[in-house]
Structures are given as structure tokens and as C-alpha cells.
Amino acid sequence: MHAGCDGPMVCIRVLLPWKIIFYRLLEVITMSKWTDFRDGALDAMKDGALNVVEETKQNFLKNFIEAGVPVIEEYADMFVAKVKEQAANESGWDKVRDAVVIPFAVQIGLYVGKQILSMVESQTATAADATAAQ
């Protein structure tokens, strides 16, 4: 046992504040490093280190539609399922909100977002084809 500990519970009570302080300190250091990294990346982008050309935009859009949208849809489906599940325990407006309004808003948001991305993708492809033809 540690000095000053009369038993396991007393020892835990003595060590617990130090453990909390350690984890808070670790959290601050980690967040500080993340903040430094983030700020450095943003400064580099502002200084022109991020070279965005037409091909970069096309690749980003294509990759986002192929990889990003399915992840967003999966998350939205899980979120809607959880909200609908909670609607069973609600009453009045809260029940309507959880059973109908939020799921409908999420689905409409996804639909509109996908339509916009599809339109932008087709316009980008048309513009790229016109540029290549010149």
C-alpha cells in the first residue's frame, strides 16, 4: 500500500484527485498540440501553401460524393432511428417532433444536399469538358 493509505478505499480516495488532475493536464496538453497544429495548417493555407486548381476541386468533389456522402447517410439513418425509438416514450409535441418532424427534416436535408452535389458535379464535368475541348 501507499504511504498514508489505511486500506484500498482510502487509497483510492487519496489517488483519485491526482488521477483527475493528470488526465485534465493530459487533455490540456493534447488540445494545445491540436490547436497548434490546426492554427499552423490554417496559417499555411492563408499564406498560399494550399494549391487549389480545377483538378483539385474536381477530385475533392468526386471523392466527397463517393466516400463522404455514404458516411453522412449512414450517420443520418442511425440518428433518425434513435430519434424514432425515443418517440415511443414521448407524448404530445415531443412525440410528433421525434416521430415525424426531425426524421423528415433530416431526409429532406440529405436529399437537397445530394441534389446540389449532383448538379455541381455535372456542371463541373461540363465545364471541364469545355475547357479540354479548347
Q: Where are the domains of the chain?
A: 1-50, 54-133
Using a 10 angstrom Cβ sphere, with 0-12 exposed, 13-18 middle and 19 or more buried, the burial of residue 73 is middle
Output the pLDDT for position 21.
60
Q: Residue 57 to residues 49, 53, 120: CA-CA distances in angstroms? A: 16, 7, 11
Closest CA to 54 of 134, 130, 126, 124: 124
Farthest CA pair distance, the chain: 85
- Each as own residue / partner, the long-range contacts of residues 4-13 (CB below 8 Å, 24 or more positions apart, any chain) are none
pTM surpassing 0.85? no
pLDDT on residue 26: 59
DSSP string, 87-98: HTT--THHHHII
Instruction: Check residue 1 and give its pLDDT.
Output: 46
Q: What are phi and psi of 89, to 5 degrees?
A: -95, 0
Q: Show Cβ contacts of residue 79 under 8 Å, excluding neighbours closer than 6 positions.
A: 106
Smallest Cα–Cα separation from 125: which of 65, 71, 69? Answer: 65
Residues of the chain with pLDDT under 50: 1-2, 8-15
In single-letter form, the type of residue at position 89 comes to N
Give me the pLDDT at residue 10, please: 44
